[in-house]
C-alpha cells in the first residue's frame, strides 16, 4: 500500500474531491462538518491534505513523502512525517483526531486508535471516514459488480477490510464511545475518459493482471456520460470520560 501512495500521490483527493452527496458536499466537506470550533486537529494519514482548506488549527501527518510533498506544494501546512503506530505528539495534546480514508490502510488500526486516544485531550473527538458498501443505487451495484467481476475480485482489497466490520469494538478497545455512525453516497461523474482512468487508477489492486486491468479500463470508459456512487461512512467517537462535545 505504501508503494501505491508513492506512485499515486494525491489520487484519493483527486477522486473524492470531484464526488458530491445530495447536499453538494464532497467527502472532505462532509467530514469537516463534524469538526467546527475545535482547537487543534491532527489528521492521521492526511495524504495530499485535502482536509486542510476546510479546517482551522489543522496539522497533517503521513508517512509518505510524495504525499507530503504534494500537500506542502499547495501550501497545506503544518505537516509531520510520521507513523500512526507511534504518533510524535505528547499525551493529551490535541482536541480532535481525524482519519479520512486511512484507518483501513494503516499497518495496525487497533494501535492507531490507541495512539489517537493517547494524544487526545480528555474531551477529545475522533472522526473517521471509511469506504462503505451502502447506500447505493441499483446502477452502482450493477456497475461495481461488473467491475469487480472483470477484475476477478469479490470486493476491493483494502489491507484491513475487517476495520469496517469491527470498528465499534476497535473504538471500544481504545477507550472511545460512539457518538455517530452515518453513511452517505457521493456521486462521481464520469464526463470523459480521463475520469474513467482516474477511477481505475485510484483502486488499490495488488496482483491483478495487466490484461484484467485493460478490460476493466475499457469497461469503465463505456460509462462516460454517467456517474457512479461512492458510499462512505463517517464515524464520530469521544474519548471515554469526556464531556459531551462534538455533537
Ligand atoms: C487512501 S489515502 C487517504 C489520504 C487522505 N486522507 C485523503 O483522504 O485523500 C491513505 C493515506 O494514509 C497514509 N498512511 C498509510 N499508513 C500510514 C501510517 N501507518 N501512518 C501514517 N500514514 C499512513 C498513506 O501514505 C496515504 O497517504
DSSP 88: S
In this structure, is residue 75 part of a structural domain?
Answer: yes
Sign of the dihedral through C-alpha 169, 174, 180, 183: negative
The CATH number for 52's domain is 3.40.50.150
Distance 121 CA to ligand 1 centre (A): 23
Distance 215 CA to ligand 1 centre (A): 28
In this structure, is residue 57 part of a structural domain?
Answer: yes
Is 10 close to ligand 1, i.e. is its CB under 6 Å away?
no
> Residue 167 sits in which domain range?
2-134+157-189+229-239
In this structure, is residue 214 part of a structural domain?
Answer: no
Name the percent of the chain lying above pLDDT 90. Answer: 86
Is 19 close to ligand 1, i.e. is its CB under 6 Å away?
no
Is the pLDDT confidence value at 55 over 90? Answer: yes
Q: What share of the chain is helix, strand, coil (3-state, %, to 5)?
A: 35, 25, 40
Is 115 close to ligand 1, i.e. is its CB under 6 Å away?
no
Distance 9 CA to ligand 1 centre (A): 10
In this structure, is residue 17 part of a structural domain?
Answer: yes
The answer to whether 46 and 71 are in contact (CB under 8 A) is yes
Distance of CA 69 to the CA centre of its chain: 19
Is 106 close to ligand 1, i.e. is its CB under 6 Å away?
yes
Which atom of ligand 1 has the smallest separation from the CA of 85? Answer: 19
In this structure, is residue 83 part of a structural domain?
Answer: yes
- For 188-207, write each residue's pLDDT tens digit: 999 999 999 999 999 888 78
In this structure, is residue 247 part of a structural domain?
Answer: no
In this structure, is residue 221 part of a structural domain?
Answer: no
d(CA 44, CA 193): 32
Distance 137 CA to ligand 1 centre (A): 28
Three-class secondary structure of residue 169 per DSSP: helix
For residue 134, what pLDDT is reported? 95
Which atom of ligand 1 has the smallest separation from the CA of 99? Answer: 6
d(CA 188, CA 119): 35
* Probe target for ligand 1 pocket from 1, 5, 186, with the most ligand atoms within 8 Å of CB: 5
Is 102 close to ligand 1, i.e. is its CB under 6 Å away?
yes
- For 140-177, write each residue's pLDDT tens digit: 999 999 999 999 988 877 888 899 999 999 999 999 99
Is the pLDDT confidence value at 37 over 90? Answer: no
In this structure, is residue 79 part of a structural domain?
Answer: yes
User: What's the Rg (C-alpha) of the chain?
Assistant: 18
DSSP labels, 93-152: -EEEEEEES-TTTSS-HHHHHHHHHHHEEEEEEEEEEEE-S-S--HHHHHHHHHHHHHHT
Closest CA to 25 of 137, 187, 136: 187
DSSP labels, 176-195: EEEEEEEEEEEEEEE-SHHH
Is 89 close to ligand 1, i.e. is its CB under 6 Å away?
no
d(CA 201, CA 203): 6
How many domains are contained in the chain?
1
Amino acid at each position: 500500500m505504501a508503494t501505491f501512495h508513492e506512485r499515486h500521490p494525491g489520487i484519493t483527493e483527486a477522486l473524492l474531491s470531484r464526488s458530491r452527496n445530495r447536499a453538494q458536499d464532497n467527502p472532505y466537506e462532509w467530514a469537516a462538518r463534524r469538526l467546527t470550533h475545535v482547537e487543534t486537529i491532527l489528521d492521521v494519514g492526511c495524504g495530499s491534505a485535502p482536509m486542510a482548506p476546510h479546517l482551522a488549527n489543522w496539522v497533517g501527518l503521513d508517512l509518505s513523502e510524495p504525499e507530503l510533498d504534494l500537500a506542502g506544494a499547495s501550501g497545506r501546512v503544518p505537516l509531520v512525517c510520521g507513523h500512526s503506530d507511534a504518533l510524535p505528539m505528547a499525551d493529551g495534546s490535541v482536541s480532535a483526531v481525524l482519519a479520512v480514508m486511512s484507518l483501513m490502510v494503516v499497518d495496525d488500526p487497533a494501535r492507531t486508535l490507541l495512539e489517537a486516544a493517547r494524544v487526545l485531550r480528555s474531551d477529545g473527538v475522533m472522526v473517521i471516514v471509511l469506504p462503505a458498501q451502502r447506500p447505493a443505487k441499483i446502477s452502482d451495484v450493477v456497475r461495481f459488480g461488473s467491475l469487480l467481476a472483470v477484475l476477478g475480485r469479490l470486493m476491493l482489497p483494502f489491507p484491513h477490510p475487517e476495520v469496517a466490520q469491527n470498528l465499534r469494538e476497535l473504538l471500544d478497545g481504545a477507550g472511545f464511545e460512539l457518538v455517530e455512525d452515518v453513511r452517505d453516497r457521493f456521486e462521481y461523474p464520469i464526463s470523459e475518459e480521463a475520469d474513467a482512468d482516474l477511477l481505475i487508477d485510484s483502486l488499490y489492486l495488488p496482483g491483478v493482471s495487466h490484461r484484467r486491468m485493460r478490460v476493466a479500463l475499457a469497461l469503465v470508459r463505456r460509462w462516460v456520460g454517467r456517474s457512479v456512487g461512492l458510499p462512505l461512512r463517517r464515524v464520530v467517537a469521544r474519548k471515554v470520560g469526556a464531556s459531551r462535545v462534538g455533537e
